[in-house]
Amino acid sequence: MLDLQGAGRNGGRRMTVTSRPWLRLGIIPLLVVAMAVAIACADGDDEPSDTDNVRVLASLEIFADMASNVGGDRATVAALLPSGADVHTYELPPSRVADVARADIIFLNGLALEEQAGEIARTNASGPVIELTERLPVIDGNPHLWLDAGLAARYVERIRDELTNIDPDGRTVYEANAAAYLEELESLDLEMERTISTIPAKDRRLVTFHDAFVYLAQRYGLEIVAVVAPSPGQEPSARDIGELSDAIEGVPAVFKEPQFNAAVLELVAEEQGVQVLNLLSDAYVDGVSTYVQLMRFNMNQLVEGLGGD
Ligand SMILES: [Zn+2]
């Protein structure tokens, strides 16, 4: 499926060579030949050609975006998990197993972020399956390292190195693409650091829906004071809600995440007269379709909610 473009081009080229004897027999046999060639190519055209892109799968759209930035024209990149899913609990349907088997390389976050999808990838992959958090500094097993732009840069370097491993001819392309993108991430990181530092120190406190922001908090000088759902897929207990209510007292804003039902957080916040804004973690939202946009969205929501310039 991912190979349709390449197959189409090969099919077209071959048709001009092989179709001459059929010309006088009319248009229908010609179409049959074209279709047969296209199907044969799509089924496994292993002839090397410069139109054969590296087929990349990444668990989250966020990592797919990073891989697209590095892979450029040499890679066809898709995300395994659909937009807006709760990635912690999402179960990959059996219909995606064929895509997994066809991919040349698969990028996962690891640390059980995409537990079931990761298992399917490891079981069915024909190429390498790379965990992007491998060898990075992990806090308490928390998987959300990419929400620190400095650590996101480490993901990008790993993607560059692994793409180069499976496609050495692309080395200079991957290096140039990664260098440009890493520069963009460095500017983003500095901008976030500078902007979030304008929030008054006493208000640099985070109440979020799920426990996704430890790395962001550590990098940009915020303190996590409460998390509504301590574990993925878990509903807060009455005691959790009591503790949440205490924690919210005096914070300027709390943050929900669009992929989760935040009714409890909204209720407690309303009781305390605290405004509720959004932070993005594992998934995009309307108007946000890249990692850099996601981080800028978060920066703006933090400043809007907690004060700052
Ligand atoms: Zn998460």
Q: If you measure from the C-alpha of residue 265 to the centroid of ligand 1, how many angstroms do you get, rounded to a whole number?
A: 17
pLDDT digits (tens, 9 = 90+) for 233-284: 677 788 888 888 888 888 999 999 988 888 888 988 999 899 999 999 999 9
Q: What is the pLDDT of residue 149?
A: 98
Q: For residue 154, how far is its CA from the centre of ligand 1 (angstroms)? A: 19
Alpha-carbon 28 to chain mean position: 44
As a three-state string, the secondary structure of 92-136 is: CCHHHHHHHHHCCEEEECCCCCCHHHHHHHHHHCCCCEEECCCCC
Q: Strand pairing partners for 57? A: 78, 106
Once rounded to an integer, what is the mean pLDDT over residues 217-243? 85
Rounded to 10 degrees, what is the CA torsion of 156, 116, 296, 268? -150
Domains 54-193 and 198-306 share a fold: yes
pLDDT digits (tens, 9 = 90+) for 15-69: 333 333 333 444 444 444 444 444 444 444 444 444 589 999 999 999 999 999 9
Contact 133, 145 (CB under 8 A): yes
Q: In the 8-state DSSP scheme, what is residue 307?
A: -
Q: What is the pLDDT of residue 237?
A: 81
Rounded distance from Cα 294 to ligand 1 centre (Å): 14
Residue 218 has a pLDDT of 98
Looking at the predicted structure, is the pLDDT value of residue 3 above 50?
Answer: no
Q: Lowest mean pLDDT of 38-47, 95-104, 157-166, 298-307, name the range.
A: 38-47
b/e burial code for range 250-261 (CB count within 10 A of at least 16 → b): ebbbbbbbbbbe
Cα of 57 from ligand 1 centre, angstroms: 19
Cα(215)–Cα(165) distance, integer angstroms: 29
* Alpha-carbon separation of residue 281 from 47, 62, 298 (angstroms): 41, 10, 9
Q: How far is the CA of 89 from the centre of ligand 1 (A)?
A: 10
Q: What percent of the chain lies above the pLDDT cut of 90? A: 67
The pLDDT assigned to 232 comes to: 64
Task: Report the C-alpha dihedral over residues 223, 228, 231, 232, rounded to 10 degrees.
Answer: -110
Percent of the chain surpassing pLDDT 70:
82
What's CA 202's distance to the chain center, in Å? Answer: 32
* Nearest C-alpha neighbor of 139 from the set 44, 215, 239, 71: 215
Which residues have a beta carbon within 5 Å of ligand 1, which is an ion?
Answer: 212, 282
- Domain boundaries, given as residue ranges, for the chain: 4-42, 54-193, 198-306
- Residues contacting residue 201 through CB under 8 Å, at least 6 positions apart: none
CATH class assigned to 54-193: alpha beta
End-to-end CA distance of the chain: 47
Q: Indicate the helix (H) or strand (E) that contains 65.
A: helix 61-71
Residue type, 157: E
Find all residues with CB under 8 Å of 52, minimum gap 6, and list them. Answer: 3, 6, 45
* Choices 1.10.1740.10, 3.40.50.1980, 3.40.50.720, 3.40.50.2300: CATH for 198-306: 3.40.50.1980
223: Cα separation from own chain's centroid? 25
Distance in Å, CA 166 to ligand 1 centroid: 29
Nearest Cα residue to 302 out of 199, 233, 209, 228? 199
